Amino acid sequence: MGTGEIRVNDVERSIFKTCDILGLYGTDLDEGTAYLLGRAVGSRAQGRRVVVGADVRPSSPILARSLVNGLLRSGADVIDLGQAPTPALHYARAQREAYGTVVVTGSHHPAAYNGFRITLGDLPMTPEELAALRLSMESGVFAENLGHYERGEVLDDYRRSLEEAFAGSLRTERHVVVDAGSGALSDLAPSVLEALGQRVERLCCDPDGTFPHRDPNPALPSSLQALRERVLATGAELGLAYDGDGDRLILVDGRGRVQPADRTQVLLIRHLLPEAPGAKVIYDLKSSSIVPEEIVAAGGAPLLERPGQAFMVRRFLTEGALLAGSLSGHYALRACGRDDALYATLALLRALDALGATYTEAIDSVPAYPNTPDLRVPCTTPRARRIVEELREAFADRPMHTVDGVRIEFPDGWALARPATAEPLLTLRYEAHTREALEEIQERVHAASPTLQDVLAYGR
C-alpha cells in the first residue's frame, strides 16, 4: 500500500472521526497510515512510554506492527501488549505509568473496518487534538530518535485485578449467558465470571475477528437474536453481550428482552448513589428522562453529555464523577477509573445482590416512557444544520441543550435533532410521558422546521 501519505490526504474526511480514526482496511487506511500515525504520536510522546494493543481482527496485528515501527522511529518507548481488550490496555497504562495508549481496533464496527483509538495523557483525545495529529501526519515533520521496545503481557494481571476487586462480594450464583461476539472478551469474560462463582453459558466465545456469528455491535437488537433465544432456552437469569474490543455491554433479561443501556444505568445509580450523596453522574444526551430523574431521587447531580465514548469518559474524569453511562453500552465507574464493560458487569451483579433482585425483577422496577429509536433521515449536512437552527429559533422559549445538535425540553417530554458526524444524515429522537404526548411533540417539531418538512416529503 505504500507509505500512506497519499491515503491520509485522500480520505481525511472519512478516517478522521470526531475523536478517533476509522476506515475500511486496505481501502481507507493501511500500514502506511499506521506508520505515519506512529510517527505523529511518537513525536508527541517525546521519549515517554506508549502502550500499544490490538483487537482480534486479522488486520489488527499488521497495523499494530507498522504503528509500533513509527512510534519507535520517533523516539517513543513502546510497551506492546499484543491482542488485548481495550479496558486492559488502559489498566496497563495506569500500572506502568505510561504517557498514552494506542489501541488498534475497529471497535463495534464490522470486520472490514479497522482504526485507532488514542489516549495521550490521562484523558481521551479531543477533536482538536486529533486534528493536530492529522496535520502532523500530513506534514511529514516528525521527531527523529530511536525508542525502546518491550513486549508486555497484561491479561493475567488484569484478570487478577478484577477477581480481587470482587472476591467475596458476589453472594448469589447467577446463571448467565455470555455472548462475546467472538471479540476480545471471548476468553476473559467467561473465565472471570466463573472464577467469581457464576454459572456461565458461552455463546460466540470463539475469538475470531471476522465475527462470523453476529455483528460486533451489541447495541443493535438484531445482533442479539441468538442470545435472546439461548437465555430463554436455558432459563438463564440474564444475557451479557459485548462488542469487538470489549468496552461495550448490552444486557438481555430473563424474558429474552434486550434492555436499553440507560435502564441498566438506573440500577447502578440506585446502588451506588446512596453511599455517595451529592456525587455527579454523567448521562447521554439520548438517554431517557428517567435517568436524570433517578439521579436526583437518589441524591446525585445529573450531568448531560453529548454521545460518544471519548466525550463521556473525558467528562467523567474531569468532573470526578461517580458513574457515567451511554446508550451505546459504555459504563465508567469511579472505583474502576474508566469505562470497562467487564468491570461494569461485575458491578451490576453486585448491585443486584444489594437490591435483592434478579435482573428481570430489578429492570421491571425501572419506569419507562414511550420513545422512538434513532430516526435516521437522509439529509445533506448543510440542510441538517439548517434544520437544527430552525428548531433552535422556533423553540427559543423552551429549555434546550445544544451540546450536540439540539435537544428541546417540553413539560411532558423532549425532542432531539442531531446532524450525523460521518454520514449525510439527520438523527431525530423523541420521548414523552404518554403516547399522545409523543405524537404531539413530533408534530410540533415537524411543523416548526420548513426544511425538515421538505426533507421528509421530498428527500435530501
In terms of Cβ atoms closer than 10 Å to its own Cβ (0-12, 13-18, 19+), residue 385 is middle
Cα 230 to Cα 223: distance, rounded to the nearest angstrom: 13
Is residue 318 within 8 A of residue 324, CB to CB? The reply is no
Measured CA to CA in angstroms, residue 401 lies from 306, 392, 408 at distances of 10, 10, 7
Looking from the CA of 209 toward its CB, the CA atoms found within 13 Å total 21
Is residue 328 within 8 A of residue 309, CB to CB? The reply is yes
Residue type, 149: Y
Measured CA to CA in angstroms, residue 196 lies from 125, 193, 243, 304 at distances of 35, 5, 22, 34
107 catalytic? Reply is: yes
Cα 376 to Cα 359: distance, rounded to the nearest angstrom: 31
**Cell numbers given for 299:** 441524591
Each residue's pLDDT, cut to its tens digit, for the chain (460 residues) gives 344 443 444 433 469 988 899 999 999 999 999 999 999 999 999 999 999 999 999 999 999 999 999 999 999 999 999 999 999 999 999 999 999 999 999 999 999 999 999 999 988 999 999 999 999 999 999 999 999 999 999 999 999 999 999 999 999 999 999 999 999 999 999 999 999 999 999 999 999 999 999 999 999 888 999 999 999 999 999 999 999 999 999 999 999 999 999 999 999 999 999 999 999 999 999 999 999 999 999 999 999 999 889 999 999 999 999 999 999 999 999 999 899 999 999 999 999 999 999 999 999 999 999 999 989 999 998 999 999 999 999 999 999 999 999 999 999 999 999 998 767 899 999 999 999 999 999 999 999 999 999 998 887 6
Q: Which of 43, 59, 74, 107 is an active site residue?
A: 107
Is residue 222 within 8 A of residue 246, CB to CB? The reply is no
In the chain, the N- to C-terminal Cα span, in Å, equals 36
Dump the DSSP string for 114-144. Answer: EEEEEEETTEEPPHHHHHHHHHHHHHT----
Nearest to 408 by CA among 424, 425, 393: 393
Structural domains of the chain in order of their starting residue, each with its CATH number: 5-153 (3.40.120.10), 158-364 (3.40.120.10), 375-458 (3.30.310.50)
Calculated CA dihedral for residues 154, 156, 162, 164, nearest 10 degrees: -130
Is residue 50 within 8 A of residue 117, CB to CB? The reply is no
